[in-house]
C-alpha cells in the first residue's frame, strides 16, 4: 500500500497522472447537484454561473471547472434545429446580428441569416415538406429546389411530414413522420403505441446536452410531448396544451430554447423551457393567447408561426398568422399582448372591422404568411383569404400591397340572416380565385439575398427573387390529384449546402 501511494505521488509530481473519470450514466455523476453524464464521457454539475447552467465536475481532465459548452460549428448551416453555433468565422458574423444563434440554438431563423451573410458564402438547396388539407382530404409532398429546378415526390406513407436537422456529425437533413406503429426520423424507426395522432416533429437542443433530440407532439385523447434522445432511444414525456405547429425560438430571453404551439380554435400557447428542483428541463405553459379576428369558414384560425428579428433589436421576435396577423416583439420576453395586430380587407393595423358589431363578417379574413428578415428592412408578408391579394407589413404598422399574379380576382360572397346585423352569416366560394396559403423565405439563387416562395391553394409554386425586386415569376405546379382548392397548407423547411 505504501509503495502504491508512493507511485501515485511520483506520478502526480511528474505530471503524467491523468486525472480523468469517464462516466456512462447520470447516476455515476454524484460530484455535485444535478450531476449529468455528457456525450464526451465527462460529468457536469448544475451551476447558475454558466450560460448552459452546467459546469464540468472534478476529474474531467483539462475541462475540470470549465463551463459546459454545447456549441458546435454547424456541419450544415442551411438547416435549423441544431445546437448553437460556435462564434467563429462567418458564424460570428451571423451571431453579431442574431446572438441567439450562438447562445441558444441554431434555429431556422439562423439558417436564413447565414444565407444572407456574405462571409459565409453559403448556397443552399431548399426542401419543403408540404401538408395540404381540405376537410377530409390530405396530400403530402416532398418538394425540393436544387438550385436549378423543382422536383416533387408524393408522401402518403407518413403522417405529420416534417424536416428535422441532420444527425450529429452528418450534413443531410432528415425527413420524418409517423405511421400507425412507428415514429420515423430519417432511417431511425421507433415503435410507438397504437392510437397516437402525431402533430409536430422537430429537432431541438432542448436540454443543451449535444445529444440528438427530437420533440414530437401527439394526441391519444391527451395532448402530449415526447422528447427522444436518439443516441440512447430514451424518452421523456409531458403534457402540452396542443400538438400542432410546434416551433422553437427564444421567448423568455434566457439561454434555453422555448416553443409556441397551436392549442385549438383561435388559441395558441407560449411554452417556456424551465428547470425544476431536480435540475430537469420541461416546457411550462406560461402564456395563452387568442386570435382576435373573426373565423372564416373552412380556414384554420391559427395557420402558422414564424420567428425572425423584425425590429432590428438583435432578438428573435414572433409573427403569428391566421384569423389576424400578429407581431410579438417585446424586448424583455414574448407573450400576449401583441405589439402589432393586422386585420380586415384590406388589412390595417387600425383593424376598424373588428370594431363594427353590425358587420361581423367584414373581419372574417384568414391570413397565411411568413417573415422576410431582410437585414435592416425586415417585414412580414401575408396573403388574404378569401382572395388572392398579398401584403407586406412593417413593425411601424404600415401595410403595403405586394402584387401577386392575378391578385385582382375575388371570391363570391353569399350572405343570409339579415345583413347588415349581428345574425348575418356569410360563406365564400373561392374556386375561381385561388388564395396563397403558405410562404417560405430562402435564398434560391445563391446571391445572399432572401427570396420568397409562395404556395397557393391549387399547390402551384411561385418564386419572387430579391434580385428582381420581388417580382413574382410563373407557376410551377405540384401534380396534385385533388381537383379543387385546399384550405390549409402547412410547410416545414430545411436545406443543405450546394457544392
Question: Rounded CA gap, 378 and 395, in Å?
Answer: 8
Confidence of residue 14 (pLDDT cuts 50, 70, 90): very low
Q: Do residues 341 and 324 make contact, with C-beta atoms less than 8 angstroms apart? A: yes
pLDDT above 90 covers a percentage of the chain that reads 80
pLDDT in tens, 362-384: 455 789 999 999 999 999 999 98
The pLDDT value recorded for residue 361 is: 44
Write down the mean pLDDT value for the chain.
Answer: 91
Q: Quick check: 16 pLDDT over 70? A: no
Supply 92's cell numbers: 460570428
Which bin fits 359, alpha (ψ -120 to 50), beta or left (φ > 0)?
Answer: beta
Classify strands 244-249 and 258-264 as parallel, antiparallel or unpaired: antiparallel
Question: Rounded CA gap, 305 and 122, in Å?
Answer: 25
The pLDDT value recorded for residue 298 is: 80
Confidence of residue 410 (pLDDT cuts 50, 70, 90): low
pLDDT in tens, 209-234: 999 999 999 999 999 999 999 999 99
The pLDDT value recorded for residue 20 is: 82
**225-245: average pLDDT:** 96
Residue tagged 447537484 (cell numbers)? 33
Residue 120's φ and ψ, nearest 5 degrees, are -75, -25
Contacts of 417 (CB under 8 A, 6+ apart): 423, 424, 425
Please choose, from the candidates 71, 35, 37, 39, the residue with its C-alpha nearest in 3D space to the C-alpha of residue 52.
Answer: 71
**149-176: average pLDDT:** 97
The pLDDT value recorded for residue 357 is: 53
The pLDDT value recorded for residue 384 is: 87
The pLDDT value recorded for residue 428 is: 65
pLDDT in tens, 18-40: 578 899 999 999 989 999 999 99
Confidence of residue 3 (pLDDT cuts 50, 70, 90): very low
Q: Quick check: 10 pLDDT over 50? A: no
The pLDDT value recorded for residue 5 is: 35
Cβ-in-10-Å burial (0-12, 13-18, 19+) of 184 comes to buried
* 413, 416, 420, 424: CA torsion to nearest 10: -100
Q: Quick check: 478 pLDDT over 80? A: yes
Question: Rounded CA gap, 324 and 302, in Å?
Answer: 8
**183-190: average pLDDT:** 98
**Higher-scoring residue by pLDDT: 44, 351:** 44
Supply 191's cell numbers: 415503435
Supply 442's cell numbers: 430562402
**79-84: average pLDDT:** 98
pLDDT in tens, 433-448: 788 999 999 999 999 9
Inter-CA distances, 27 with 49, 79, 299, Å: 23, 34, 50
Question: Rounded CA gap, 369 and 364, in Å?
Answer: 16
Supply the pTM of this predicted model: 0.92
The pLDDT value recorded for residue 390 is: 94
pLDDT in tens, 300-339: 999 999 999 999 999 999 999 999 999 999 999 998 899 9
Say if residue 385 is preceded by a cis peptide, omega within 30 of 0: no
Question: Rounded CA gap, 265 and 302, in Å?
Answer: 7
DSSP annotation of 460 = E
Confidence of residue 352 (pLDDT cuts 50, 70, 90): confident
Q: Quick check: 108 pLDDT over 70? A: yes
**441-463: average pLDDT:** 97
DSSP annotation of 433 = S
Question: Rounded CA gap, 370 and 478, in Å?
Answer: 21
Q: Do residues 190 and 180 make contact, with C-beta atoms less than 8 angstroms apart? A: no
Q: Count CB neighbours of 446 within 10 A.
A: 13
The pLDDT value recorded for residue 370 is: 98
The pLDDT value recorded for residue 234 is: 96
The pLDDT value recorded for residue 360 is: 46
Amino acid at each position: 500500500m505504501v509503495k502504491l501511494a508512493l507511485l501515485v505521488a511520483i506520478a502526480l509530481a511528474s505530471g503524467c497522472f491523468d486525472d480523468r473519470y469517464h462516466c456512462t450514466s447520470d447516476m455515476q455523476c454524484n460530484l455535485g447537484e444535478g450531476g449529468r453524464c455528457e456525450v464526451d464521457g465527462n460529468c457536469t454539475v448544475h451551476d447558475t454561473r454558466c450560460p448552459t447552467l452546467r459546469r464540468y465536475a472534478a476529474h474531467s481532465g483539462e475541462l475540470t471547472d470549465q463551463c459546459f459548452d454545447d456549441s458546435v460549428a454547424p456541419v450544415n448551416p442551411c438547416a435549423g434545429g441544431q445546437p448553437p453555433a460556435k462564434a467563429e468565422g462567418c458564424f460570428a458574423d451571423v451571431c453579431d446580428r442574431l446572438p441567439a444563434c450562438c447562445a441558444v440554438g441554431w434555429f431556422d431563423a439562423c439558417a436564413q441569416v447565414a444565407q444572407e451573410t456574405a462571409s459565409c458564402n453559403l448556397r443552399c438547396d431548399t426542401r419543403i415538406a408540404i401538408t395540404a388539407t381540405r376537410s377530409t382530404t390530405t396530400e403530402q409532398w416532398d418538394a425540393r429546389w436544387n438550385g436549378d429546378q423543382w422536383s416533387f415526390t408524393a408522401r402518403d406513407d407518413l403522417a405529420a411530414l416534417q424536416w428535422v436537422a441532420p444527425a450529429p456529425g452528418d450534413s443531410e437533413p432528415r425527413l420524418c413522420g409517423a405511421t400507425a406503429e412507428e415514429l420515423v426520423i430519417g432511417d431511425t424507426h421507433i415503435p410507438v403505441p397504437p392510437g397516437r395522432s402525431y402533430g409536430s416533429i422537430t429537432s431541438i437542443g432542448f436540454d443543451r446536452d449535444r445529444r440528438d433530440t427530437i420533440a414530437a407532439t401527439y394526441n391519444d385523447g391527451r395532448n402530449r410531448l415526447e422528447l427522444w434522445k436518439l443516441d440512447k432511444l430514451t424518452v421523456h414525456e409531458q403534457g402540452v396544451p396542443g400538438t400542432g405547429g410546434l416551433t422553437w425560438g427564444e421567448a423568455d430571453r434566457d439561454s434555453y430554447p422555448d416553443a409556441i404551439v397551436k392549442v385549438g380554435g383561435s388559441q395558441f400557447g407560449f411554452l417556456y423551457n424551465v428547470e425544476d428542483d431536480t435540475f430537469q428541463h420541461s416546457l411550462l405553459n406560461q402564456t395563452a393567447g387568442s386570435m382576435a379576428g373573426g373565423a372564416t369558414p373552412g380556414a384554420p384560425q391559427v395557420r402558422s408561426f414564424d420567428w425572425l428579428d423584425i425590429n432590428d433589436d438583435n432578438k428573435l421576435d414572433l409573427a403569428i398568422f391566421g384569423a389576424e396577423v400578429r407581431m410579438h416583439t417585446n424586448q424583455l420576453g414574448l407573450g400576449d399582448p401583441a405589439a402589432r395586430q393586422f386585420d380586415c380587407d384590406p388589412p390595417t393595423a387600425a383593424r376598424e372591422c373588428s370594431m363594427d358589431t353590425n358587420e361581423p363578417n367584414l373581419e372574417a379574413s384568414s391570413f397565411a404568411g411568413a417573415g422576410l428578415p431582410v437585414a435592416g428592412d425586415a417585414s412580414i408578408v401575408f396573403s388574404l383569404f378569401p382572395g388572392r391579394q398579398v401584403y407586406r407589413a412593417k413593425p411601424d404598422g404600415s401595410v403595403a400591397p405586394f402584387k401577386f399574379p392575378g391578385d385582382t380576382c375575388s371570391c363570391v360572397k353569399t350572405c343570409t340572416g339579415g345583413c347588415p346585423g349581428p345574425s348575418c352569416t356569410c360563406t365564400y366560394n373561392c374556386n375561381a380565385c385561388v388564395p396563397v396559403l403558405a410562404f417560405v423565405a430562402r435564398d434560391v439563387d445563391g446571391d445572399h439575398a432572401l427570396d420568397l416562395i409562395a404556395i397557393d391553394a391549387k399547390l402551384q409554386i411561385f418564386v419572387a427573387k430579391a434580385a428582381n425586386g420581388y417580382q413574382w415569376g410563373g407557376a410551377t405546379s405540384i401534380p396534385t390529384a385533388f381537383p379543387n382548392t385546399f384550405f390549409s397548407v402547412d410547410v416545414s423547411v430545411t436545406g443543405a449546402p450546394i457544392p
